[in-house]
Each structure stands twice: as C-alpha cells, then as structure tokens.
Chain A
Amino acid sequence: MTDLKNRFMLMLSDEPTAPNDLESIVSAGRRARRRRQAAMAAVSTIGVAGLTTAVAVPIAMTGGTGSDDKVGVQAQQKPSPSPSATRGNCYLIAAKPKAAKLTLQRFVRSGKVGDHPEVTQMRALKDGRTVLQVCSPGASASQPTDEAAEPPTGPPYHYTEQPEDIAARLGAHLTNRVTNWGLDITYTRPFAQETSTLEKGHPAYFDGNVDVHEAQGYGDIGVQVTHKTTEQVPFTGDCNAADNCEETTLDDGSVLRTGEVKAGPGLTVVTAEVHRPDGVVVQAQMSNYPFGPDAGTQDHGDQPLSLKQLISLAQDPDFTF
C-alpha cells in the first residue's frame, strides 16, 4: 500500500453513520427504469418527433427490436435470452441531414458506441430530420422500421381475472405454502408487476416475495410467474448463467432448471424455474438474506427451504394466471 493510500485512509477517520436509504434508492431506480423504458418505446414506434435534434436515446441492449409498445400477442418460442448473452449498445439519433454528420462525430467521440459504429438510417420524419440507429460493433442492429410493419401475430390475450385479483390470489397462495412449512413471515412484498411491462393494460408477469425468519436468521422466498405472451422478462436463459445449473426435462414436458447465483460475500440466491409446455414460466427463488426494509439490520440466515421444497413451489400449478 502506498503512502498516499494510507493518508487517504486517515482522511476517512471521521466517517459518520451512513444513511439507511436503500429503499428510496430502489424506488428511484424503479422510476428511472420505467422512464427509460417509456422513452425507448416512445422513440421506437410512436415517433421521434418529440425529441430535440441530436438527442440520442439508448434503445436497448443488443437485440432491442424497438417494438416494446406494440400491442398483440406472440407465442414465445423459447425463454428470453439473458441480457448478458449479447454485448453492445444501440442508440437512436434524430438529426437534420446537415447536422447528422457532426452529431454522429460527437456521438462517436463520446465513446458509447466505439470508434467504428454501425449506422443504419431508420426513417425520415416530417420535420426533415432523419432517424439513425447507431450501434456499437457486434451489436445486433434492428432492421429499419417500416411504418406498415406487421404487428405481432396471434389473437389478443384476454385475462379471466382482474390484475388485482391475480396478485391477491398468488400472494395468498405463497403465504399459505410458506407458513405450511412452519416459517414465520416477517415481511411481504405483494405480488405486482412493473407498469412498464403492461401489454395494453394487461400484466405480463407477476412477482412477489416474503421474508422469513428461521433458526439462524432471516431469508427470503419469492415467486415470479410469467405468461407465455411476453418476452420482456429475462430468465436465466442458458443454463450456464448460474452456478451449478442443472436442466431436466420432466415427465409432463416441462423443463426444470435449478442453479444458484452469488449475490455478494456469503449471499446466495437459489433458483428453480419451470418452463411449462403451455408457455408459462414460474421462477421460485430463495436467498439466505432478507429483502425487506429492515434487511440492513437483520441477521442473515440459512436458506429457508430445501431445494426440493423450492422446486415444488416452481412446479405448483396454482402459480399461474
């Protein structure tokens, strides 16, 4: 260690207690994600007219098709890929032809898309500006948008329950399952879905979780149920996305994946997810640490369930909508 580093450390001797504002950070992060996704959707399909000249909006990690807000249903052929499966960014730039070159040069200098980005002309706007898609090398650029592009195929999906009823039913069922294992629930995050993933007002997925107290401390159990009509919720994708991942095809044709992810020193999240033949994916997770608002002061426990119990949650047919 250098002398300078030692002296930096001495500067920290009067460190005050850190604020406990993790909840507000998470809330702000959720809002920021929603704003970002809303901006992506607005840019990609509604039009870029509202954007000022030379505003670049990140449209997605690679693979973004810019069709987030299209309404309709497409059968999911396979689980959504992990966001880590591809690399690079794509951005949309709206600029007038004379300013486009300069705008691009500035954008390249920003380093966001590398020195040799792939540029695709998407379309011309009524005010004379042109929409360009700028992707870092290797990022899979989407095809130029055609106004008359076909909407997603398939009939609209009609939910048979109101979203709040679905949330209440799933939440009650998780509570029932957990308490039947003799665990004390200390915090409940009701089943909900991010509003940004609504498809024409319908929820694409629900998730909720409960913190539980077991002999050694606190842990958490959560379930996420995703309907077959969405490809917006990333799951573990390839089995190698998690440690000790195992994939098994069950008798009914479902695919069961189990694995674990290290979330930090001594912190582990264990996942069991079942991809059912009807397209529903249920992901059950447990962790040896709590998620609730008191998480910072609670002792970490052991994993609250056995792997067998966790798998039974993922296979539970009542987790559906």
Chain B
Amino acid sequence: MLSETKRGQGDAAAPGGRTDPGDHFAVLGIERSWHLDTARLAARHLALSRELHPDRFAQASPRERLLSLERTTALNDAYRTLRDPIRRAEYILRQAGIGHGDHDHELGHETGGVDHEFLEKIMHMRERMLELGIAGGRGGEHPEALAMRTAAAAAIDDLDRQIDAEFTAWERDPGGSGSRAALVQVDRCLAQRRYYVNILREIDGEDIPAGHGAL
C-alpha cells in the first residue's frame, strides 16, 4: 500500500509544477471499489486536510506552500469525485479506459453506448414534451408531465440498481475477464441515465446536481 501511495503522489506533481489528478483512491488511501463507506471517506479527507491544507503552510517556504497547494488540490479533487456515486462510477470507467466520462472528449458531444432503439424512445419523449410545451420548467401540474417525470425517475432507479449489481460483479474480481464486461454495462447504464436526468431537469426546469438520484 505504501508504494502505491507513493506512486500516486509522485504522479501528482507533473513537470511544470502542474497538478495532475493522480489516482483518487490512492490519494485518499482506500481500496479501489465502487461500494465504499462514505463516512470513512469523509474522515480520511478531514484527517489529510488537517495536515496538508495551505493554511497550515502560510509561514512555510515557497516550495512547501506549492506542495501543500498541489496535494490539497489533489485531495479535494479526489474527494469530490469519489464521494458522489455517479462521479465515482465514471472515474472507475475512465481508469479502465471505458467510455469517456467527463474527460478527453470533444466538447458538447453526448456519449455513445446507447442503441438506436433507446435514442428513439428518448426522442419521442422529447417531441411529446415540446408538443405539450412542458420543457424548461413549464411542466407545472400537467398530468402528462407528471407521468413522464415518474417514468424518468423510475428508469433512473432501475438503472441505479443495475449499476449497483454490475459493480458488485466487478468488485468480486476486478482483474477478471468477466469484469470488463460488467464495466461496459455500467457505461451503457450511465449513458442512458444522463438522458433521463436531462429529461427530469427539463421538466423541473432546475439544476439537478450530478449524482442526484436514488443511489
């Protein structure tokens, strides 16, 4: 574990003094896994913050101040990513080289991983929303809007259950041959989930924070 921690930190200080994400799990010193104890994660973040935070280094040398800034940045970025189940899932996929999460993609490009049939279903929903004029938070109490909302929320719940199950399979044997297939399934679920979250957002006309849902 020690060497892994060291490697993660070594990566954090890239040439040119820039902070690279490093390995989020290593930064927080926890096992790579999607199911995790968020209370323990919070405790780790706090304990490391107490030692690393720039406030602790206000009187230190410029070098130590820079190190403190880099390490605390890596710590906060790791915590922000891992404490949220959806961001955590996307991160695990990204590390496995599956899908693209929020990284390394053309701007504005929606994800792949969804089939034609699914896209058609979403397109029908959107067309119906436009016809009824219920997009942009103008759904109000329209019965069909409420029904659509319920359907989207139920779909998200269902996807969340699938994601949970696929990760359980992956965690049993992260390096195994079947585990990659599980992650590909997660990628497909996440891609579909994004469409439903967007539909909810349009009906409600508000900003739904990432990872908001039944997970």
Q: Are A and B subunits of one complex? A: no
| Interface of B toward A, CB cutoff 8 Å | none
| Interface of A toward B, CB cutoff 8 Å | none
